[in-house]
């Protein structure tokens, strides 16, 4: 094995061992299911901010975004990033504090649990919400495993399937041991690794391309590449119009944040609700800078390909551009190889930080919300934690099968799962926090309507093309919101007790 590969392998192994050690240490602090699922609501502002954003910035940060920018330029990826940045900020601004107060007041430790207790519904809402989490978290987790498989296949030539399974085992290990606290602590470490990877690869890439001027001039020479209203076509070398409807559709990515369980759980877990403002500022700044740099990596990669330094990448293989750049870096001595290893660790961090949070949210919804809540099976705290860990393993196995195809696109899988959560949980979350008149019938209608529309639009309407070629999250979010409003208004008003709880939360916000 070459020296550079050995150095990269050593860095990655040390990084993975550190994640498992954190999981083991965190496991000693889990006294009950409240600790396992929500860390005892003891997260500080920095851990809350970076944990939320690291769990948000999955493999699409270092793979999906650079790959999209590499192929088609700034339009598609640029408006996506703008939508995500706005969504991040407003989610922290209007959702975080209300959800922290409300969930604490009704003693909810999962998102389905919160919806059920907010609307005083014992089983229906909880069962539907738990099912939605399973339906959309499984492909989301699969995208993370796929990213790991591509990483080790590109780096070591290791079989894609073997690499994917090994990665899944490691993620399962520290998540099942330490629960939410382990996931949140590792997310903080992983956000640092992701940041370091972004900085290092940009500096190396610009230098290898011949300087910033060369990178910019290459992009300018590609028709529509640097435009926000034209989409570059890498096949023909031409461009196509990127219209207003498409821009709005792409920016709709930001709506997804209001329904992401693994992000919303961080809001519920923060120790001091008055420090959420600090977390919001940290999170917003980090997200904007990290996504902008990730997009620029794609631009740099295109210049390296044009100069013959990096091979040309097509289709979903464009998502490996950062790996190609890191591999090139590793050929410049031991120190460079160690830094390249940090970049690969950063890619792993993107994947692991999201996968661990998703697995935890999915397993908690099954053990707490479905087995105990819907089925009414009595479980001790010890039995609940055991059940959660078993479910976590089952979900991982299913996710591995979904990601079995090495040609699957990380960005495509993530975009569908993102739309699913955004449309099913987003409108209900906003209604539950801001509209006292909303009721359980409206909440159920909203979740079902949003989920159905995601599938209908994605597979039946969107393929028609033209004006129908809209990201499924936008129409599904609108349909779900209308369903909540209409059904809530035509059905009975919430009880006096529910209204008093809502007013008590509102009073605490003042």
Q: pLDDT, tens digit, for every residue of 372-383?
A: 777 777 777 677
Q: Which residue has the higher pLDDT, 392 or 35?
A: 392
Give pLDDT, residue 365.
73
Give pLDDT, residue 39.
47
Over 60: is that where the pLDDT of 183 sits? no
**How big is the chain by its Cα radius of gyration, in Å?**
22
Tell me the per-residue pLDDT of 115-158, one tens digit each, with 9 for 90 and over.
999 999 978 998 899 889 888 877 777 777 777 777 777 667 77
Over residues 318-328, mean pLDDT: 86
Identify whether the C-beta of residue 408 lies closer than 8 Å to the C-beta of residue 141: no
The helix/strand/coil state of 464 is: helix
With a CB cutoff of 8 Å and minimum separation 6, the contacts of 160 are 149, 150, 152, 153, 406
Q: Which residue has the higher pLDDT, 33 or 435?
A: 435
Task: Say which residue the tokens 């998540």 belong to.
Answer: 175
Over 60: is that where the pLDDT of 38 sits? no
Q: What percent of the chain has pLDDT above 70?
A: 85
Give pLDDT, residue 29.
54
Distance CA 259, CA 446 (A): 12
Over 70: is that where the pLDDT of 510 sits? yes
Q: What percent of the chain has pLDDT above 90?
A: 40
- How far CA 324 is from CA of 108, 171, 327, in Å, comes to 45, 24, 5
Both structure tokens of 351 = 């994947």
Q: Helices marked H in 73-108 — which ranges?
A: 74-90, 96-105
Give pLDDT, residue 499.
95
Measured in Å, how far apart are the chain's first and last C-alpha atoms?
A: 63
Give pLDDT, residue 414.
75
Total-model pTM: 0.84
Give pLDDT, residue 456.
96
Going by their DSSP bridges, the two strands 230-232 and 239-241 should be labelled as antiparallel
With a CB cutoff of 8 Å and minimum separation 6, the contacts of 73 are 219, 222, 224, 225, 226, 227, 230, 231, 232
Give pLDDT, residue 437.
96
Distance CA 428, CA 449 (A): 11
Q: What is the mean pLDDT of the chain?
A: 83
Over residues 386-411, mean pLDDT: 76
Distance CA 245, CA 249 (A): 6
pLDDT band at 40 (very low <50, low <70, confident <90, very high): very low
């Amino acid at each position: 094995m070459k020296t550079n590969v050995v150095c990269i392998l050593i860095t990655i192994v040390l990084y993975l061992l550190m994640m498992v050690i954190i999981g083991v240490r965190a496991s000693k602090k889990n006294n009950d299911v409240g600790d396992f699922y929500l860390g005892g609501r003891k997260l500080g502002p920095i851990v809350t901010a970076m944990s939320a954003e690291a769990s948000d910035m999955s493999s699409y940060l270092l793979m999906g975004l650079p790959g999209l920018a590499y192929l088609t330029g700034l339009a598609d990826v640029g408006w996506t990033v703008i939508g995500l940045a706005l969504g991040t900020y407003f989610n922290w601004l209007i959702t975080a504090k209300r959800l922290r107060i409300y969930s604490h007041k009704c003693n909810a430790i999962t998102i389905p649990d919160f919806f059920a207790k907010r609307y005083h519904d014992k089983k229906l809402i909880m069962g539907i919400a738990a099912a939605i989490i399973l339906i959309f978290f499984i492909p989301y987790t699969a995208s993370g495993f796929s990213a790991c498989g591509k990483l080790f296949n590109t780096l070591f030539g290791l079989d894609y399937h073997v690499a994917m399974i090994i990665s899944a085992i490691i993620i399962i290990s520290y998540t099942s041991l330490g629960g939410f606290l382990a996931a949140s602590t590792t997310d903080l470490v992983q956000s640092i690794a992701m940041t370091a990877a972004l900085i290092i690869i940009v500096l190396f890439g610009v230098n290898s391309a011949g300087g910033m001027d060369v990178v910019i001039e290459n992009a300018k020479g590609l028709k529509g590449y640097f435009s926000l209203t034209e989409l570059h076509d890498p096949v023909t070398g031409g461009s196509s119009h990127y219209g207003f409807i498409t821009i709005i559709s792409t920016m709709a990515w930001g709506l997804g944040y209001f329904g992401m369980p693994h992000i919303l759980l961080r809001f519920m877990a923060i120790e001091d609700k008055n420090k959420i403002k600090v977390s919001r500022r940290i999170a917003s700044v980090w997200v904007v800078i990290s996504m902008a740099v990730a997009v620029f990596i794609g631009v740099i990669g295109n210049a390296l390909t044009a100069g013959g330094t990096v091979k040309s990448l097509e289709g979903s293989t464009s998502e490996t551009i950062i790996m190609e750049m890191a591999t090139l870096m590793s050929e410049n001595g031991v120190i460079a190889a160690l830094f390249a290893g940090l970049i690969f660790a950063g890619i792993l961090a993107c994947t692991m930080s999201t996968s661990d949070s998703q697995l935890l949210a999915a397993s908690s919804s099954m053990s707490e919300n479905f087995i105990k809540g819907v089925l009414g099976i009595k479980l001790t705290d010890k039995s609940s934690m055991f059940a959660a860990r078993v479910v976590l393993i089952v979900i991982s196995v299913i996710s591995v099968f979904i990601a079995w195809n090495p040609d699957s696109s990380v960005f495509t899988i993530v975009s569908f799962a993102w739309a699913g959560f955004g449309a099913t949980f987003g409108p209900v979350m906003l209604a539950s926090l801001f509209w006292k008149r909303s009721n359980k019938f409206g909440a159920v209608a909203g979740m079902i309507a949003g989920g159905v529309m995601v599938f209908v639009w994605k597979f039946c309407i969107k393929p028609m093309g033209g004006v129908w070629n809209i990201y499924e999250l936008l129409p599904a979010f609108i349909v779900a919101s209308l369903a909540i409003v209409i059904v809530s208004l035509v059905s009975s008003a919430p009880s006096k007790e529910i209204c008093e709880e809502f007013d008590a939360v509102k009073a605490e916000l003042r």
